[in-house]
């Protein structure tokens, strides 16, 4: 019998390899990580942001239906910028620094709470010109973002530390500037908005002047793509609710069906056109990524505005507004044309070969605008034109691919 001193020492059980510490250093991730995809927390983040997008769309519909289109579009542009910019700040930071520990998750949930506060204040911003609740929601989101940057700065060194601190300082200064929407009189607010947009867009350019964050191209492309899908889904949902409500209160199915069919064709075409090219291959440096990322403000805002336009068209079709058919049609065709042109400028033109392929989307946008003058059939015509542009692009791409294949076969035979 051996004594306890002769026996082998007991070792503490080790944690399984898949168990990670609840708190970990917030350090930069690799730009070329394999299999980098969106997380479930990021998807929840997107869905909560779409609540705010939906609120902005509803208020835009009310403004246009009541004959205050100019006022509604201005407020929509201002509110949508706040939504989109906060989403974009988080998405690019997460692509570079997401360590998925407990603290990171909690701060992200705080940001989600902030966007819900912002969403609650959108109607007051539109109807009463009161931006206080929107600003408070923005404060919650942006202070949480500042804490993330300061945490990243704690673990960084040299140029990376300076970059993270510049981001934190820039976000704080801009947040103070947005207070002008609350304190200054209403005529000055559009100018405050313009100045603050320039300031906000300048923060990443200044912060990353000497050091670029290690965002992941495939992950960023997927994040933007998923948010675009969610916005297009909200467009379908809004149009569906509008058609259902009108059908329940009226028997004007003959007027509603063309709008519903045209709206579906527009949304389906918008999805196809956006995802037809693997855009992550174009995101090679900050120079391309800044323009591409900033340009998505127009893509996302116009995609959401299509849904608002479809609601306006339904309201006009059943006689619930005094808008003319021309104005109601323009509420759909103009954002659709803007979406097509922006997707072409940011995506498609880099992957098109020859004049025929390059001119499909710009020509489609022009034809969609012309559909505005077709009265009650404008939305359906715009949908058909959009769908035909997709078919034309597929045919041209297939012909080009077949031609290259035949050329290779001829060379091999020779």
Check residue 9 and give its pLDDT: 38
Q: Tell whether the model's pLDDT for residue 107 goes beyond 90.
A: yes
What's the pLDDT tens digit per position in 125-149?
A: 888 888 999 999 999 999 999 999 9
Question: Do 260 and 210 reside in the same domain of the chain?
Answer: no
- Cα separation of 162 and 32, whole Å? 23
Check residue 239 and give its pLDDT: 82
* Average pLDDT estimate for 141-169: 95
Question: Do 209 and 234 reside in the same domain of the chain?
Answer: no
In this structure, is residue 10 part of a structural domain?
A: no
What's the pLDDT tens digit per position in 181-211?
A: 999 998 898 899 999 999 999 999 999 988 9
Check residue 162 and give its pLDDT: 95
In this structure, is residue 115 part of a structural domain?
A: yes
* Average pLDDT estimate for 333-347: 92
Q: In sequence order, what are the residues at sequence separation of 6 or more whose Cβ sits closer than 8 angstroms to the Cβ of residue 386?
A: 265, 266, 269, 270, 336, 340, 364, 368
Question: Do 277 and 175 reside in the same domain of the chain?
Answer: no
Question: Do 107 and 227 reside in the same domain of the chain?
Answer: no
Q: In sequence order, what are the residues at sequence separation of 6 or more whose Cβ sits closer than 8 angstroms to the Cβ of residue 90?
A: 45, 108, 111, 145
- Using the 3D structure, point to which of 160, 186, 215 is the last residue of a domain: 215
Question: Do 330 and 207 reside in the same domain of the chain?
Answer: no
Better pLDDT: 400 or 286:
286
Residue % of the chain over a pLDDT of 90 = 51
Going by C-alpha positions, the residue among 231, 265, 234, 379 that lies closest to residue 314 is 379
Sign, Cα dihedral of 282, 284, 285, 289: positive
Going by C-alpha positions, the residue among 316, 335, 332, 292 that lies closest to residue 77 is 335
What's the pLDDT tens digit per position in 58-104?
A: 999 999 988 888 889 998 999 999 999 999 999 999 999 999 889 99
In this structure, is residue 383 part of a structural domain?
A: yes
Check residue 16 and give its pLDDT: 43
Check residue 105 and give its pLDDT: 95
Sign, Cα dihedral of 29, 33, 38, 41: negative
Better pLDDT: 68 or 3:
68
In this structure, is residue 410 part of a structural domain?
A: no
Contacts of range 137-140, beta carbons closer than 8 Å, 24 or more positions apart:
138/82, 138/86, 138/114, 138/175, 138/178, 139/114, 139/175, 140/110, 140/111, 140/113, 140/114
- Burial readout 169-199 (b: 16 or more C-beta within 10 A, e: otherwise): bbbeebbeebbbbeeeeeeebeebbeebbee
Question: Do 192 and 248 reside in the same domain of the chain?
Answer: no
Residue % of the chain over a pLDDT of 70 = 87
Check residue 358 and give its pLDDT: 79
pLDDT band at 287; cut points 50, 70, 90: low
Of 97-101, 250-254, 372-376, minimum mean pLDDT range: 250-254
Check residue 412 and give its pLDDT: 45
In this structure, is residue 339 part of a structural domain?
A: yes
In this structure, is residue 151 part of a structural domain?
A: yes
Question: Do 211 and 237 reside in the same domain of the chain?
Answer: no
Please provide the average confidence, as pLDDT, over all residues in the chain. 85
- Using the 3D structure, point to which of 181, 215, 249 is the last residue of a domain: 215
CATH number for the domain including 268?
Answer: 1.20.1410
Check residue 277 and give its pLDDT: 72
Question: Do 160 and 240 reside in the same domain of the chain?
Answer: no
pTM for this predicted structure: 0.86
pLDDT band at 252; cut points 50, 70, 90: low
Question: Do 208 and 230 reside in the same domain of the chain?
Answer: no
What's the pLDDT tens digit per position in 384-406?
A: 999 999 898 888 776 554 444 44
Count how many domains the chain has: 2
Q: Tell whether the model's pLDDT for residue 163 goes beyond 90.
A: yes
Burial of residue 106 (CB within 10 Å: 0-12, 13-18, 19+) is: exposed
* Average pLDDT estimate for 45-69: 90
Range of the domain at 130: 39-215
Q: Is 258 within 8 Å of 380 (Cβ atoms)? A: yes
């Amino acid at each position: 019998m051996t004594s306890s001193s002769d026996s082998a020492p007991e070792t503490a059980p080790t944690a399984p390899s898949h168990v990670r510490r609840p708190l970990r250093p917030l350090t930069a991730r690799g730009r070329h990580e394999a299999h980098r995809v969106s997380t479930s927390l990021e998807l929840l983040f997107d869905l909560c942001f779409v609540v705010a997008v939906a609120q902005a769309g509803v208020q835009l519909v009310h403004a246009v239906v009541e004959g205050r289109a100019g006022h509604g579009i201005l407020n929509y542009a201002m509110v949508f910028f706040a939504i989109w910019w906060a989403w974009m700040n988080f998405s690019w930071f997460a692509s570079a620094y997401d360590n998925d520990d407990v603290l990171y998750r909690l701060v992200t949930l705080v940001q989600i709470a902030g966007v819900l506060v912002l969403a609650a204040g959108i109607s007051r911003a539109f109807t009463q010109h009161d931006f206080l609740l929107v600003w408070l929601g923005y404060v919650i989101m942006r202070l949480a973002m500042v804490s993330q940057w300061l945490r990243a700065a704690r673990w960084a060194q040299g140029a990376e530390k300076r970059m993270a601190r510049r981001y934190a300082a820039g976000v704080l200064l801009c947040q103070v500037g947005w207070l002008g929407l609350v304190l200054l009189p209403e005529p000055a607010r559009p100018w405050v908005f313009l100045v603050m947009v320039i300031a906000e867009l300048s923060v990443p350019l200044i912060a990353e002047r000497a050091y670029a964050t290690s965002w992941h191209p495939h992950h960023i492309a997927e994040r933007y793509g998923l948010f675009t899908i969610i916005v297009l889904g909200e467009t379908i949902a809004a149009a569906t609710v509008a058609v259902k409500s009108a059908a329940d209160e009226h028997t004007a199915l003959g007027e509603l069906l063309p709008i519903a069919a045209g709206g579906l064709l527009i949304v389906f075409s918008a999805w196809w056109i956006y995802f037809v090219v693997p855009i992550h291959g174009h995101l090679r440096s900050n120079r391309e990524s800044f323009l591409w990322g900033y340009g998505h403000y127009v893509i996302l805002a116009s995609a959401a505005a299509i849904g608002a336009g479809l609601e306006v068209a339904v309201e006009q079709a059943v006689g619930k507004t005094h808008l003319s058919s021309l104005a109601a049609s323009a509420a759909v065709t103009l954002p659709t044309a803007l979406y097509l042109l922006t997707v072409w400028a940011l995506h498609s033109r880099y992957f098109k070969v020859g004049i025929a392929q390059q001119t499909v989307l710009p020509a489609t946008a022009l034809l969609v605008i012309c559909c505005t003058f077709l009265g009650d059939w404008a939305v359906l015509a715009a949908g058909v034109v959009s769908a035909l542009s997709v078919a034309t692009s597929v045919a041209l791409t297939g012909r080009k691919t077949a031609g290259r294949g035949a050329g290779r076969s001829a060379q091999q035979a020779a």
